[in-house]
Amino acid sequence: MTDNERPEADSRRAQLLKGVAELALLSLLDEGPQYGLELLDRLRADAGVDLAEGTIYPLLHRLQKAGLMASEWRIEQDGARPRKYYALTDLGRAELASQLAEWRRLNASLNPFLDRRTLR
């Protein structure tokens, strides 16, 4: 592999992650309100979506602007600084259901297709 191939592979991986990050984020928020870094940690640990810290907040802002989630500042019990918590709206739940249905439909057709191929 040449040095020029690695950045291209990283770019392809980043594009793929962008496509699944929104679905994974909406899915996490369906469990209840969470704050930004908590969501980032869970995306990385639970979903295997390795987003950069600087990526989560623009994504949250875009989804909030689209009406898919709402946010509120909360003061923690332990006296830590306030955190902004995000929660799904009704529109966000509907979008999650739609994206899940599309993801499952795509997986049902794409996985068998890819399983028939071998890597060369």
Checking if the pLDDT of 45 tops 90, the result is yes
Q: Which residues pair with 108 in a beta bridge?
A: none
Instruction: Check residue 119 and give its pLDDT.
Output: 60
**DSSP-derived 3-state class of residue 37:** helix
Residue-wise pLDDT for 10-21, tens only, equals 777 777 777 799
Measured over the CA atoms of residue 8, residue 10, residue 14 and residue 17, the dihedral's sign is positive
Instruction: Check residue 10 and give its pLDDT.
Output: 73
Report the candidate in 77, 102, 84, 108 with the shortest Cα–Cα distance to residue 22. Answer: 102
Checking if the pLDDT of 2 tops 60, the result is no
The pLDDT of 76-99, averaged and rounded, is 93
Checking if the pLDDT of 64 tops 60, the result is yes
Please report which residue ranges of 35-89 form alpha helices under DSSP H: 36-45, 53-65
- The class (CATH top level) of 5-115 is mainly alpha
